[in-house]
Every structure is written in C-alpha cells, then in structure tokens.
Amino acid sequence: MSLSLDATQLDRYSRHVILDDVGPEGQKRLLDARVLVVGAGGLGAPAIQYLAAAGVGTIGVVDDDVVERSNLQRQVIHGDSDVGRKKVDSAADFVADLNPDVDVERHELRLDAGNARELIADYDVVVDCSDNFATRYVVNDAARIEGVPVSHGAIYKFEGQVTTLSPDGPCYRCLFPEPPEPGTVPDCASTGVLGVLPGTVGCLQATEAVKLIMDVGDPLVGRMLFYDAMDLSFETVPYARNPDCPVCGDDGIDTIDGIDYAAGCQIDAA
C-alpha cells in the first residue's frame, strides 16, 4: 500500500496525519476504504458527512426515498432546495462539495434479502442507519455471512443506542432474537424526535467505522452504548454471543434465502 499523499491531501488531513495513532498510513487506509451507509436520513446524514470529511474514499449510499421538508430539522446533508429530490442524489452532491477525494456510489433502492449480500460484500464496513427492524435484521444476517462488520445505531425520541457487530463477536440477534410485534414501537413520524439526537448517534457510528478501518481503539463489540439526551448521560451495557443464535451461533446460517423479513424476521430451526 502506497502511503503517498499529495500536497492538497496533506493539508486537508493534516490533523489526522499528525496523530500518532493515525499518521499517513491511517489516512491512506481511509482513502482506500469502502463504506456502505444504509439510509441517508437522520442517522445517515451525519454519518455520511463525517465519513466524507475524514476522507473515506468510497461511500455507498442506500436509500429509496426523497427529501421532504420535515426531514430538514435533523437530516443535515439535505437543504431546502433539495425537497423532492432523491436522497441519494442530494447526498452525493453534498459529499462532492465537501470532499472531492470521495466517490459516492448511489444505490437508489431498499435493501432487502434479495440484494443485501451482493451489496454488502462489496464494502469493508456497513453503517446501519436504517429506521425499521426488517432492514436491521437483513443487514445483520447478510453482513455476518459475508464477514463484514456493522456499526449499528438507532434512535427514539430523546434516546439513542450504538453498537458494533464484528464478524467474530455477538450479532444483532444475540441482543434482539426477534423484533417487537408490529405497531408496538412507533416511528419518528408518529412520536417525534429531538433534531440534534441523530447527529450525536450518527457521529458515534461514523467514529466506530473510522476506527474499524484504521484498526485503532476499542470498538463497541459486545457492548451497547445507550445515550439519553435529556440527562446528557451515557451508559454501556455488555452483551455476549449466544451459542444458540441462529445467525452467529454454533449452527449459524449460511444463507438468507427463505427468511421472510417482512413477516417477523424469524429463522426457523433446522
């Protein structure tokens, strides 16, 4: 791996380069990295913003939605003039203006069981910024089979959570074996969300992705970080791999074919 950075890059990333734990090698790792961000909304917006600023060379953006004015209270990479535009296009334009070193690969689609493995296999890290349980389980299952780490985040009103799902650590199903019953967990559209909350959580997800790429620090593997914006408090709760987990357990799956993610995400015992 060549460690050469041109003069403009040395200037742009100078505060990285002078860090002992990053240096030119760490910056080159970032520039060579490929990160898939699932969702360009509340969590995806700050994650994309800071991954691009850090110099992650290729960012894939998965989203099939368009920008709505109600998004702008928290989805900071989209502006008023973007209302009605595809979020993947708005995100790509934002990144191009922020950092010309970064290529954005636009995936205007909903990630599902039919496309997840092929998409995820092409990236080094997944940042899961989705807003529904079906997508979270698809991301977890496909990434585990493909051996790709996932930075997971979720938000609710004034609270957020972040964890990292490493190929050799516990997975999302170890935490939540099954999703809640439909309708029991309302979404942001019906309950509201503090606008700055996803900024904090999305930045934490981007932090985990950057650490994974550079192989520095201690990622949140086997630890769930809970953030309460009302108290401005953080709590970390450990969790362990479940040997009976149908995905990462001793007899884990090797395909997601046949799993009905729309009808509960359960994996039937063999």
Residues carrying an active site annotation: 188
Cα separation, 199 vs 42, in Å, equals 7
Cα separation, 236 vs 227, in Å, equals 9
Secondary structure (3-state) at 172: helix
Query: How many C-beta neighbours within 10 Å does residue 12 have?
Result: 18
Residues contacting residue 186 through CB under 8 Å, at least 6 positions apart:
none
Cα separation, 123 vs 33, in Å, equals 8
Planar angle of CA 134, 225, 53, nearest 5 degrees:
85
CA distances from 263 to 2, 177, 206 (A): 48, 14, 31
Length of the chain: 270
Please measure the distance between the N-terminal and C-terminal CA atoms of the chain and give it in whole angstroms: 44
Cα separation, 126 vs 205, in Å, equals 10
